[in-house]
Structure 1
Amino acid sequence: MQEIKIPELAESITEGTIAEWLVKEGDKVEKGDAIVELETDKVNVEVNAEFSGVITEITSNEGDDVSVGDTIGKLDENGEAGAASSGEAKKEEASSEKETEEPKEVPAKEAAGESKQDAAPKQNSGDVIASPAARKRARELGIDLSKVQTRDPLGRVRPEDVEAYNNAPKQDVAPSKPAKKEAAKSEKTEFDKPVERVKMTRRRQTIAKNLVEVQQNTAMLTTFNEVDMTSVMELRKQRKDKFLAKNGVKLGFMSFFTKAVVGALKEFPLLNAEIQGNELVIKKFYDIGIAVSTDEGLVVPVVRDADRKDFAGIEQDIVDLGKKARDNKLALKDLQGGSFTITNGGTFGSMMSTPILNAPQVGILGMHNIVKRPIAMPDDSIEVRPMMYIALSYDHRIVDGKEAVQFLVRIKQMLEDPYDLLLEG
């Protein structure tokens, strides 16, 4: 019999939450087969079987938090598919013995004592046949397993039996212990009307924690500007068909912004830096993070060496990373090491926002919705132009306001004359 344990995942990951078991008890697996999906702070990873055999027992259920080295199940290298697990077999045997056991004679005094204490349980939770998950849930709810009725023909208490007992209307009984009264009082909701409580995913908890830390540990400030998108939109309209036919990927806005950001970072290198202790680490590479919204929360995969890629290379990377993000297929290497981040709230209709830094980076550019507005032209005429507000959040500890404003102005200039970007690309 082999134990199924959580292996070493990565240097920065020590724990996770079981998102989904890909096998069930009685299934036969081969060495290397994916058997469980684990949700970590950053990505979802699959745990593979280290041995070939049959899954005989699953001891940690979906939603359970686990750490590296924890045992989450057992595997029998000599087992046969479909066979009952060893744990089930032992419990079935124990149940059978209890059913056939003849009643013992009870002394008269003890019998009388029992008649006076009908409300007391006749067995404790340790004697009850129950799954590990059911025992865990009973402990969480403070429920005596001996009081839980089960519909299992073998008498095994399962998690759904515990939930059913917990949700069943309780009869009025005399209060037993003050401690239980206090526990029940603490479980009562503070709302008078119906609410739904949903446990935050591990990734959402991490996002929340990181965002609060950024707000507390940086001197974050945001500056704004606006971009006339006329030239970019006209250029896309002229080139989009040929671009798609040649490269197999659409020409989007993000490649223009990525190229403009790289150009501006070369002129203002402190926005491509980070703080380590008392030192500034000024990066000489341009790995640009592109924020992607998924059902599990925001992730920021990284386009590597964006300064060395042409428009088609950037667009292809963005498409590939976005698909991996939505399919929960991102690897840690896809998320690590970015030097600057771009986020596009405009895809959801945002007109203006103050993006929060993606620590330890010291700069993030926010794109927004494109809206037609009347604009005063240099000759004092009024024209309706497609305009976008852009925002730069930066760490004021190392980036001064002058540099931040000039950085944003430089991006504006390059986007309003995008032909230079194409020539440089």
Structure 2
Amino acid sequence: MSWIDYVVLIGTLSAIALYGHWRTRRDYDLGHYLHGDETIRWGTIGLSVMATQASAVTFLSTPGQAYESGMGFVQNYFGLPFALLVVCAVFIPIYHRLKVITAYEYLGQRFDQKTRLLGAFLFLVQRGLSAGITIYAPAIIVSAILGWNLQLTILLCGLSVLIYTSVGGTKAVSITGKWQMAVILVGMAIAFGMIVHRLPRSLSLNNAFAIAGTLGKLNAVNFSFNVNERYTFWSGLLGGFFLALSYFGTDQSQVQRYLAGGSITGSRFGLLFNAVLKVPMQFFILLTGVMVFVFFQFEKPPIFFNQPAYEEAVRHDSAGEFAALQARYDAVFAQKQKDLGGLTNAMETGGQGALDSAKQAVLRGQEEIQKIRGEVKETLKSYNPQLETKDSDYVFITFVLHYLPHGLI
């Protein structure tokens, strides 16, 4: 990172925090702290709900997931719009009528205090565990950018989040979440534009998508009834519906956001905002990951994306195993470059026979690269059995750090 990147980073974080403090400077009572007030509009509710669900995990891991396995993950969200309609029609009127602040307060009124405490306890345990993953994702980014120790970075991120949420309260978190989400979405759009811009000039966008499709990355919808398939339209519709219904209907991290407004209408519009935009947003994030994959077909990616871990292992490689694997990788990638050139030429001028032959050559090259990467991961495990060899979380941050201009990182 350059000094420009640090200025942008510190300036953005400071501006959002100061804005939240300024907007809530006169909110002194406990009700505003826990519940917000009627000044929170549906747009703020909608973006805050989206920001709460779409943590750094979404914007860091999801492109990497698309890089590895394609667009199929988007199917998990197909049931979400229908679940939000149910929440708007059933849950929100009940919560507002009973004037509850938490979903578990409703359990206390409907059943008894023990049920309320059990629900709250389970929520705290679940959120506590998931918070570890949520904090881990931005810690990866910060440690990669600043070169800090990952464990120390996790601790600092956790303390920052604790202070931020404790000082601000619900209204401040909702208001600042709106701007955080706006910054993230603009950043993703810029990143997508930069990926397309950095593709070879001879490669049209249609051909870029064709290459992604050839290599199995555009499998967005799968209507198979095979229960062994990881992502299908049907599992996303049914499982996604009940998952979203439980999450948005009963999880306090979401209930608190849409109850922060002053009316049923505001809460409903905030959730309907998510019902309309959540699936397209996830589709776009996955598509960004697919375009990163296409970009790295023409620009040689690292043999292992978690470069600090890889470099540490290389330093202890007295037998030269990694050097041999790297040499094989370089040779296969160079040949694949030629095959990709043949494929793009066949797309423009060749017949079906030439196109099929070129596709097979590219697929063979991709399979060989995946095989070498698998061997690298096994070798890394032999040096460090505790190492997490799933490196997809580092894919998008690798592109951001090495290929975005200063000031955008």
If the length of structure 2 is used for normalisation, what is the TM-score? 0.19
Structure with greater proportional helix content: 2
If the length of structure 1 is used for normalisation, what is the TM-score? 0.19
Q: Tell which has more relative contact order, 1 or 2 (C-alpha 8 A, sep 6+).
A: 2
Structure with greater proportional strand content: 1
